[in-house]
């Protein structure tokens, strides 16, 4: 596998690049919005001081690793971050994303996701997974548009918000092993089940 660290990517409308110290104001705008961060695993940021700490912990520290895919989503017209997208280098290879709400419903995350997925596939990552809160089906639609398939659902006491959440897990395999299912969530959480197609996002 190549030694890579968030290689810059470009699409028709977007530049995908690393967050930098110069992006603090834009990062705060993304991560401080309560509606944008409602279904995400952290509380909304409350100050620029919190934003600086968040940048260091969630981005700068990761950028020191040999391989990382943690992107700011920027429009080409100004190269200012309006969202983020990342794929974890942990065993789950989890895909995560978020976008300022004034840019929702324009296909931006799907466009960014396809570029990042193509890159990790070319770099030898064998599969990716993604999860979404069952109460957030719009996120599931993005996963479907990216070619991911629903595998199962599970209930987790979600931290740090400490609330029970039913997550739906999606997966996309790149190495020809279409039967592979990442089972860690299924094995970890006692409440797990497979939902019928008629209740899933399309």
Residue 3 in this model has a pLDDT that exceeds 80: no
For residue 14, the number of C-alpha atoms closer than 13 Å in the C-beta half-sphere is: 27
- The mean pLDDT value for 42-47 works out to 88
Residue 202 in this model has a pLDDT that exceeds 80: no
**pLDDT digit string, tens, across residues 112-167:** 999 999 999 999 999 999 999 999 999 999 999 999 999 999 999 988 888 899 99
Residue 170: CB atoms within 10 Å: 25
Closest CA to 157 of 44, 71, 41, 28: 41
pTM, two decimals, is: 0.93
- Domains of the chain by range and CATH? 1-125 (3.40.630.30), 127-202 (no CATH)
What 3-state DSSP class applies to 79?
A: coil
* Integer Cα distance of 11 and 72 in angstroms: 13
Residue 2 in this model has a pLDDT that exceeds 50: no
Lowest mean pLDDT among 33-42, 66-75, 134-143, 149-158: 33-42
């Amino acid at each position: 596998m190549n030694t890579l660290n968030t290689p810059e990517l470009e699409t028709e409308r977007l530049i995908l690049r690393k967050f930098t110290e110069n992006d603090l104001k834009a990062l705060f705008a993304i991560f401080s919005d309560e509606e944008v961060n409602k279904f995400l695993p952290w509380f909304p940021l409350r100050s620029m001081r919190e934003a600086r700490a968040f940048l260091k912990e969630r981005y700068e520290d990761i950028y020191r690793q040999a391989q990382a895919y943690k992107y700011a989503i920027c429009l080409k017209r100004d190269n200012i971050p309006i969202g983020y997208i990342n794929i974890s280098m942990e065993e789950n290879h989890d895909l995560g994303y978020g976008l300022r709400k004034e840019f929702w419903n324009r296909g931006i995350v799907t466009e960014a996701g396809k570029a990042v997925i193509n890159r990790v596939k070319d770099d030898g990552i064998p599969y990716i997974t993604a999860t979404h809160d069952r109460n957030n089906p719009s996120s599931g639609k993005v996963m479907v548009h990216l070619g991911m398939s629903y595998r199962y659902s599970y209930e987790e006491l979600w931290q740090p918000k400490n609330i029970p959440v039913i997550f739906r897990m999606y997966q996309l395999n790149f190495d020809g092993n279409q039967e592979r299912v990442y089972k860690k969530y299924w094995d970890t959480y006692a409440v797990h089940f497979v939902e019928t197609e008629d209740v899933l996002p399309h």
